[in-house]
Amino acid sequence: MAEQQRRRPGETREKLMNAALALVGKGRHFASLGIREITRQAGVVPTSFYRHFRSVDDLGLQLVDELGLVLRRMMREARANVLQADKLIEESVGIFVAHAQANRSFFLFMAQGLAGESRAVQEGIRSEMRFFASELANDLRRLRLADHLSDADLDLTCDLVVRTVAFSLTDLLSVSEDDDYQVGQVRKRTTRFLQMVFVGAAHWNSSSA
Amino acid sequence: MAEQQRRRPGETREKLMNAALALVGKGRHFASLGIREITRQAGVVPTSFYRHFRSVDDLGLQLVDELGLVLRRMMREARANVLQADKLIEESVGIFVAHAQANRSFFLFMAQGLAGESRAVQEGIRSEMRFFASELANDLRRLRLADHLSDADLDLTCDLVVRTVAFSLTDLLSVSEDDDYQVGQVRKRTTRFLQMVFVGAAHWNSSSA
DNA sequence: CACATAGGTGAACACTTGTACACATCACGA
DNA sequence: TCGTGATGTGTACAAGTGTTCACCTATGTG
């Protein structure tokens, strides 16, 4: 009936995922989204949803996959841009904040998913964080910045770093997107948190023996 | 019509709050709860809800208040039970884990609320965490355990501690309630996180000047 | 005792929800 | 060329939703 223009494959699928993200970005919680709501936002008929996803949770899982890509992009940029070791933390936090701002909805979704209602989404996000932490550990090892730490202690440190940053996400996402002052505050605070963690790591074995 | 037994005042109100908590404890996300669902679980007619709360978010706000009481009880117990300073961290984490297990639904609600959909609930929980951190700072000051730190740096430390513990909540709540091994793992890991933070705090000024 | 008030109840409303079914349209391989 | 499968659409329905209304009953204060 309504004219059906030729569609690039996967287009509606993208539209649906973006619609879910958009709603999350608008302040809704992912766990409270419904199929009809998402399709309405996407400008698509409800039935189409089932062509691509079995349920809202399923869509969530696929969002986690995309989130993985976003995180990898961020990591790549961080690796390319960290020039001097002494500004390493500051610059990394800066890159993180910039990405979080540029992909606000995505990171909002991530923060929500950590205590979300779908066990699978939760585990997916957790697993992305583990991956991130292990990559960080590799980098630190390669740069020989933590030679005095055992592998286990280095992992511990990186896990703590990732957690701290992840928690900062909730700070960052709860201030207005363009309140530069507040955003700066979060950045400074996060930087100091990480500095403290690294000071702890630097003195770890000598103090905990 | 249906016989109306004499009710202790506020009874239904409690029933409603407990019902919401029970649903959260069962794996539901607070943001996805509806009025009818809550009243059904409470064994009460939907209309009764409005006698006590204006909306689900309102109920959430009142839950945050109760959460405050739970946290205070926990703090009191921790203060009473910490015997030797050298086991301070270990014992505190133990008490925290015990309380989190005993009030699983409450802490689940807290973890969800941090990235929740109601701005007010979010701010309430955040504020409880700030209070907790400032009390912790007072204690450390009183015990003269952080004399070398400025007030601002002490606050920073305590904030980081509270965040770290709060994040552990998501670990703790995602493992089965009675999987003692996993729970023990979370406890050990959290303890080491905090030890690392405190090592960092101990060497803070000397390393960051 | 009378009465105001708080709290509990059932029926009804206008919507929204998830899901199923039948059908239309396109791209593409046999 | 003709299927055939993937993707889109419209309609339908039963069930669940938030909220309002009028009404009932227990309780405590004047």
Task: Summarize pLDDT for B106-162 with one digit per residue, the tens.
Answer: 999 999 999 999 999 999 999 999 999 999 999 999 989 889 999 999 999 999 999
- CATH homologous superfamily of B60-208 equals Tetracycline Repressor, domain 2 (1.10.357.10)
Are the C-beta atoms of residues B55 and B16 closer than 8 Å to each other? no
Inter-chain CB proximity B196 and A197 less than 8 Å: yes
What's the topology of domain B1-53?
Arc Repressor Mutant, subunit A (1.10.10)
Alpha helices in B26-118 (DSSP H): 35-42, 46-52, 56-81, 88-102, 104-114
Nearest CB to B160: which of A123, A196, A208?
Answer: A196
Q: Yes or no: is domain A7-53 CATH 1.10.10.60? A: yes
B39 contact to strand C (CB, 7 A limit): no
Rounded Cα gap, residues B132 and B71, in angstroms: 8
A1 CA from D9 C1′ (Å): 7
Which residues does B contribute to its contact with A (CB < 8 Å)? 27-29, 31-32, 108, 111-112, 114-117, 119, 122-123, 126, 156-157, 159-160, 163-164, 166-167, 170, 173-174, 189, 192-193, 195-204, 207-208
Q: Is the dihedral of CA A9, A128, A110, B33 positive or negative?
A: positive
Indicate the DSSP class of residue B177.
T
- Percent of chain A's residues with pLDDT above 90: 86
- Please say if the pLDDT value at position A5 is more than 50: no
User: In the Cβ-directed half-sphere of B148, how many Cα atoms lie within 13 Å?
Assistant: 11
User: What is the pLDDT confidence band of residue A208, given thresholds at 50, 70 and 90?
Assistant: low
- The pLDDT of residue B55: 97
Burial class (CB in 10 A: 0-12, 13-18, 19+), A119: exposed
What class, spelled out in words, does domain A61-208 have in CATH?
A: mainly alpha
Residue B126's closest CA among B163, B175, B87?
A: B163
Is a pLDDT exceeding 70 seen at residue B167? yes
Chain C positions with an atom below 7 A of a protein C-beta are: 6-12, 16-22, 24-27
Phi-psi region of A177 (alpha: psi -120 to 50; beta: other; left: phi over 0): alpha
CA of B45 to C1' of C11 (A): 12
Given a contact cutoff of 8 angstroms between Cβ atoms, the answer to whether A149 and B188 are in contact is no
Q: Tell me which H or E stretch contains A81.
A: helix A56-81
pLDDT category at B181 given cuts 50, 70, 90 is very high
Which amino acid, residue A102?
A
pLDDT band at A83 (very low <50, low <70, confident <90, very high): confident
Of A108, A170, A204, the CB nearest to B199: A204
Confidence label for B207 from pLDDT (cuts 50, 70 and 90) = low
Average pLDDT over residues B7-22: 89
pLDDT at B61 over 70: yes
Per-residue pLDDT, A7: 57
| Separation CA B169–CA B163 (nearest Å) | 10
Q: Is residue B44 within 8 Å of B16, Cβ to Cβ?
A: yes
For B170, nearest residue in chain A (alpha carbons): A115
- Our measurement of CA A135 to C1' D6, in angstroms, reads 39
Q: Are B186 and B168 in contact (CB under 8 A)?
A: yes
What residue is closest to D20 (Cα–C1')?
B47
Nucleotide nearest to B36 (CA to C1'): D17
Residue A45 gets which letter from DSSP?
A: -
The pair phi, psi for residue B28, each rounded to 5°, is -75, 155
Nearest chain B residue (CA) to A26: B117
Domain ranges of chain B: 1-53, 60-208
Residues of B in contact with A37 (CB under 8 A): none
